[in-house]
Amino acid sequence: MNPVLLVTGGSRGIGAATALLAARRGFAVAVNYSVNAPAAEAVVAMIRAGGGTAIPVQADVADEPQVMAMFQHIDNTLGRLSALVNNAGVVDQPARLDQMDGPRIRRMFDTNVMGSLLCAREAVLRMSTRHGGPGGAIVNVSSVAARLGGPGEFVDYAASKGAIDSFTVGLAREVATEGIRVNAVRPGIIDTDIHASGGRPDRARDMAPMVPMQRAGSADEVAHNIVWLLSPEASYTTGAILDVAGGR
């Protein structure tokens, strides 16, 4: 039976690339989306066309009842979860902190932080040997913004990803004896459409000269690191935060 993976925010960008690669590596994949059902269904169709197993699952990860319903649906459809990629996240228009209102900051933390914690909680309840599970792996998608701070643009986003880094280390140590490995990747400038949702569709191209490797990365390059961290090849790796940022 194929191991079961949930990829949150799996309908586009890094999430979609991860879902597609993981399916090729033998995972049955639940592709989570919040509002864009056609995009999620397109990823599922590609996986099935390649002979893999996948389902779309709708949930706003910031909403606890929706998260719980999503995990129950995966239990009933694909079986016990083996792996989780906390990829769902939001960004907003560039702004200084003194220009940000409360709803923007709250949305950032509700999705990027609360969503990851809620999904990880449900995953631990299914994977942990403490709860009768067989173990598993969690990969959180952070950002190099956690190191750089996002001044003048995205300090709220950067702060939310700093929380993910702390959460990764803490949870890894909390469940280390329960068969669960918890790691994170910190992408740098990656050429995905998240930049358009932040009002800067050309940001990856414009920022490329600031990267030591002089180019933006691709979603596939991040996905390969995520799937490696999920795999038995990373069996002695937990609490790690892996920069995938071209040296930035």
- pTM confidence score: 0.94
Superfamily (CATH H level) for 4-244: NAD(P)-binding Rossmann-like Domain (3.40.50.720)
How confident is residue 210, by pLDDT bands cut at 50, 70 and 90? confident
Cβ-based neighbours of 158, under 8 Å, separated by 6 or more? 143, 145, 146, 148, 149, 150
pLDDT value for 168: 99
Active site residue 157: yes
| pLDDT, tens digit (0-9, with 9 covering 90-100), for 6-16 | 999 999 999 99
Which of 11, 157, 183, 187 does the annotation list as catalytic?
A: 157
Q: Tell me how far apart the alpha carbons of residues 85 and 50 are, in angstroms, rounded to a whole number.
A: 21
Question: Which pair of tokens denotes residue 107?
Answer: 């949305």
> Residue 28: beta bridge partners?
4
pLDDT value for 204: 74
Q: For 199-225, b where at least 16 C-beta lie within 10 A, e where not — what string?
A: ebeebbeeebeebeeeebbebebbbeb
pLDDT value for 207: 76
pLDDT value for 192: 78
Q: Tell me how far apart the alpha carbons of residues 13 and 201 are, in angstroms, rounded to a whole number.
A: 13
Q: Tell me how far apart the alpha carbons of residues 32 and 51 are, in angstroms, rounded to a whole number.
A: 20
| pLDDT, tens digit (0-9, with 9 covering 90-100), for 114-146 | 999 999 999 999 999 999 999 999 999 999 999
| pLDDT, tens digit (0-9, with 9 covering 90-100), for 182-208 | 999 999 999 876 655 555 667 777 777
Position 20: which residue type? L
| pLDDT, tens digit (0-9, with 9 covering 90-100), for 146-166 | 999 999 999 999 999 999 999
Q: Tell me how far apart the alpha carbons of residues 61 and 63 are, in angstroms, rounded to a whole number.
A: 5
